[in-house]
């Protein structure tokens, strides 16, 4: 028998991940990291050594000894004998009785002596006096943090604990927390025997995040399960407010594949509101208090880029050591100006999902949006709203209702599991409400700010988390459907089926649909939904005289003294997420193709846009990029693309020029692109390297084939560009003289018109003869089988479809290939 089995105290450097039965999941992981990841340099990131605050575990044997010596076993069994976890009032009463039994018991003398001795030894090892030594006391259950059950938040943690008396009291409270209402209920649901689970306690040196910051890291995208991402949440002060969802934290995303190859791929940064923080009440009391965060700190990011990248590297090192996605807690010690990892556990929600079944929730109708926040779960739920203010009301909650509250309390988990959806005022994607809702498989919208004010108990609502990162609460019970596709025997057609992508926040979910990359990335969505401001208004911010416009810009660009940097960052982050989601497949970004009336609708746009009779055929696409009135705005797009490719390492990003009327225009645009630091053209050898995911400096530049001149002068365009993408709507418009926006003449023809088909046939044959690829963007090949058959017969290289029709379109194209024997 391992002589550690009966030990009351085990130090972190005596523990490994296999020791869950001795010290619980949390302590086993702390010991594993302390022993393996803090002393030796990782081979993956040279010089990166993870920092874990030192400490010891009060073992499961200690807990068992405490229970036995106080003769509590039978008393607890008697209290829980007729337990019904669905009777909320009964669960509350029985849980309270068990906890009170434990809190009223005394430590056996031998156990108390060893705990005090270990605490004194920890002070010596850290060279701190008993007054200076502040520790975190964290519960660590022997059935906790297992690969297929997270037990998230089931037991308690106590911070800023000082002195022998406080330590013993905190450990006893931790023992009692094995029988919180939520822990009892969760064990019943997971079919764990209450008496087979024991509690260990971590006694760990505090990282002074009360004077710094803290947060959570996941080594995948928590919503989609996309595994090439590190997701970091950060807020000021101690970490409890992030975990419990009291604050809406900053959110950072880092792309793992290019992080590993030496790039700095921070592909998204979102500023959280961070209204409050938790700090020490005073140095020696062992208590904490809440403080408001100063406006200056609310409006700036908690972490700088260097810290974001360091934490991301640590997360990857931990993930690779455990060989599975991880859920990690970190802290920034404000006194020592150092980062620490304070917990790590296996991620369990996405790990349990089927990799072969694609599930998609789709809204079939829309209604009035009552409020919105961060979407959790990519699902839809509906029912009557039920506002729960505090624990005294939870027994009133009925199955199928929507839980509406300020923040969820961990003790409410028994009612959360019968809710159809959850809506909170506060919290981020790694808050308690978010973690539990994912595990339960129900949608949640967190951080709405106003839910408890605008939603009334009894009101029928629909909660949609299926429309991107913004979750929406609609008035009424709206219709929706669930599409499930089994991909077990899926076979792709010979033609490359690509996607038309616009919303970066949906990209990671869409990446799971079988595809060969993105044939058209529309950046207009990024500009209108994330930037919202005309680029010229930002460039000329210092000379703006329109105070209304200036105020709107100030509100959107909080934290940015350099307003141009706001445009660059937002543009780059949007494009980077699209590129990362489909890496290493090519992502073809079409530079902005707003018409003048659309640009005018942006903030400040009317100051810089002409009024045109027919904007569809006016100042758009290529003609803007070299025009002195737009050159500096186009330069921002080029610089953002350069950042995505060269700083983030996303070499799969290429660009495309829309509405290029003449070869001369094409040359002028290429000159502007080169002037802004982007190089072209790419050689066949470099293209082969790029296909294999290797860094290639030159970038492919394609042209939209949407004007007859693009095809009638295909030989000249082929000398300038690397490929052609057919824009069938504009090609039809320009060939037949149709206004795309006019319903009066829509009946005249579509892309199947003979003239349009002749032009497409000419383009494919001529481009292929010159060694260039041709793709098409649009629903035509999917909607019209004869059009798809025509394109496949000509040997088109790729067909790009909207995400919601990719599977249906792929099956149709495959049928066409089989029909014509391709």
CB 249 within 8 A of CB 272: yes
DSSP string covering 555-584, please?
Answer: HHTTT-SSHHHHHHHHHHHHHHHHHHHTTT
- Of 403, 467, 460, which is closest to residue 437 (Cα–Cα)? 403
d(CA 302, CA 114): 40
459: which 2 tokens?
């009101």
479 three-state secondary structure: coil
The DSSP secondary structure of 783-801, one letter per residue, reads: H-HHHHHHHHHHT-SEEEE
Question: What percent helix, strand, coil does the chain show, rounded to 5?
Answer: 40, 20, 35
Task: Mark whether 747 is an active-site residue.
Answer: no
Instruction: Determine the Cα–Cα distance for residues 6 and 119; give it in Å rounded to an integer.
Output: 19
* Cβ 37 vs Cβ 56: under 8 Å: no
Residue 432 designated active-site: yes
Determine contact, residues 178/141, Cβ cutoff 8 Å: yes
CA distance 698 to 336: 44
**Does the CA dihedral 605-611-612-618 come out positive or negative?**
negative
Give the other-Cβ count within 10 Å of 181's Cβ.
25
Say which of 321, 386, 432, 534 is annotated catalytic.
432
What does the block give as tokens for 600? 């005018």
Inter-CA distances, 533 with 413, 536, 570, 601, Å: 43, 8, 11, 9
Count of beta carbons in the 10 Å neighbourhood of residue 822: 14
If residue 312 lies in a helix (H) or strand (E), which one and from where to where?
A: helix 305-322
C-alpha distances in angstroms, 276 versus 209, 329, 375, 389, 447? 14, 19, 22, 20, 14
Q: At a CB cut-off of 8 Å and minimum separation 6, what does 96 contact?
A: none
Query: How many Cβ atoms from other residues are within 10 Å of residue 46's Cβ?
Result: 7
The span from the CA of 695 to the CA of 675, in Å, is 21
- Residues annotated as catalytic are 432, 777
């Amino acid at each position: 028998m391992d002589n550690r089995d009966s030990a009351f105290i085990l130090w972190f450097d005596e523990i490994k991940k296999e020791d869950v039965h001795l010290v619980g999941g949390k302590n086993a992981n702390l010991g594993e990291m302390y022993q393996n990841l803090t002393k030796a340099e990782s081979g993956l990131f040279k010089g990166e050594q993870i920092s874990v605050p030192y400490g010891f575990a009060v073992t499961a044997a200690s807990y068992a000894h405490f229970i036995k010596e106080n003769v509590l076993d039978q008393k607890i069994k008697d209290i829980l004998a007729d337990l019904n976890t669905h009777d909320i009032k009964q669960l509350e009463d029985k849980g309270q009785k068990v906890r009170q039994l434990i809190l009223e018991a005394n430590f056996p003398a031998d156990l108390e002596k060893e705990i005090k001795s270990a605490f004194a030894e920890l002070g010596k090892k850290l060279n701190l006096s008993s007054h200076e030594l502040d520790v975190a006391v964290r519960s660590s259950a022997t059935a906790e943090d297992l690969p297929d059950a997270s037990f998230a938040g089931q037991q308690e943690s106590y911070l800023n604990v000082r002195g022998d008396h406080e330590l013993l009291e905190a450990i006893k409270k931790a023992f009692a927390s094995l029988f919180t209402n939520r822990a009892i209920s969760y064990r019943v649901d997971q079919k764990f025997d209450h008496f087979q689970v024991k509690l260990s306690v971590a006694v760990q040196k505090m990282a002074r995040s009360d004077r710094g910051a803290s947060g959570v890291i996941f080594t995948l995208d928590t919503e989609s399960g996309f595994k090439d991402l590190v997701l970091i949440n950060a807020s000021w002060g101690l970490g409890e407010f992030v975990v419990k969802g009291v604050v809406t934290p900053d959110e950072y995303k880092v792309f793992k594949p290019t992080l590993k190859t030496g790039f700095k791929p921070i592909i998204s940064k979102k500023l959280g509101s961070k209204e409050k923080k938790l700090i020490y009440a005073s140095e020696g009391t062992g208590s904490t208090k809440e403080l408001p965060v100063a406006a200056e700190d609310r409006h700036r990011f908690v972490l700088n880029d260097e810290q974001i990248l360091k934490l991301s590297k640590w997360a990857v090192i931990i993930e690779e050591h455990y060989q599975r996605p991880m859920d990690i807690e970190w802290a920034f010690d404000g006194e020592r100006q150092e980062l620490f990892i304070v917990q790590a556990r296996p991620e369990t929600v996405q790990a349990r999902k089927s990799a072969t079944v694609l599930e998609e929730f789709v809204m079939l109708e829309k209604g009035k949006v009552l409020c919105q926040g961060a979407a959790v779960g990519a699902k839809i739920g509906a029912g009557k709203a039920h506002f729960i203010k505090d624990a005294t009301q939870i027994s009133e909650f009925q199955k199928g209702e929507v839980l509406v509250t300020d923040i969820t309390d961990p003790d409410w988990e028994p009612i959360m599991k019968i809710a159809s959806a959850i809506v909170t005022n506060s919290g981020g994607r790694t808050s308690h409400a978010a973690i539990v809702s994912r595990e339960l498989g129900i949608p949640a919208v967190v951080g709405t700010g106003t839910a408890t004010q605008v939603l009334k108990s009894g009101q029928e609502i629909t909660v949609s988390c299926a429309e991107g990162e913004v979750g929406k609460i609609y008035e009424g019970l709206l219709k929706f459907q669930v599409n499930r596709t089994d991909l077990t025997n899926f076979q792709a057609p010979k033609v490359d089926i690509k996607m038309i992508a616009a919303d970066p926040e949906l990209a990671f979910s869409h990446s799971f649909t079988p595809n060969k990359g993105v044939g058209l990335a529309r950046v207009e969505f990024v500009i209108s939904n994330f930037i919202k401001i005309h680029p010229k208004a930002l460039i000329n911010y210092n000379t703006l005289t329109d105070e209304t416009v200036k105020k709107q810009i100030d509100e959107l660009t909080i934290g940015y003294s350099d307003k141009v940097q706001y445009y660059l960052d937002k543009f780059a982050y949007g494009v980077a997420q699209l590129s990362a989601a489909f890496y290493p497949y090519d992502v073809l970004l079409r530079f902005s193709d707003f018409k003048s009336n659309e640009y005018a609708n942006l903030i400040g746009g009317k100051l810089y846009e002409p009024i045109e009779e027919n904007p569809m055929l006016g100042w758009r696409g290529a003609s803007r990029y070299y025009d002195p009135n737009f050159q500096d705005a186009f330069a921002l797009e080029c610089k953002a693309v350069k950042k995505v490719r060269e700083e983030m390492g996303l070499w799969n990003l290429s660009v495309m020029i829309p509405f290029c009327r003449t070869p001369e225009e094409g040359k002028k645009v290429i000159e502007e692109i080169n002037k802004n630091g982007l190089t072209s053209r790419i050689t066949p050898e470099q293209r082969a390297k790029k296909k294999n995911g290797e860094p290639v400096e030159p970038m492919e530049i394609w042209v939209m084939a949407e004007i007859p001149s693009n095809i009638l002068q295909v030989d000249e365009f082929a000398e300038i560009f690397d490929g052609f993408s057919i824009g069938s709507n504009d090609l039809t418009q320009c060939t037949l003289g149709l206004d795309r926006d006019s319903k009066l003449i829509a009946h005249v023809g579509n892309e199947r018109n003979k003239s349009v088909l002749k032009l497409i046939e000419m383009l494919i044959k001529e481009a292929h003869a010159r060694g260039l690829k041709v793709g098409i963007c649009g629903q035509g090949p999917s909607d019209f089988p004869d059009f798809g058959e025509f394109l496949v017969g000509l040997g088109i290289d790729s067909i790009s479809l909207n995400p919601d029709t990719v599977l249906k379109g792929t099956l149709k194209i495959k049928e066409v290939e089989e029909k014509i024997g391709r």
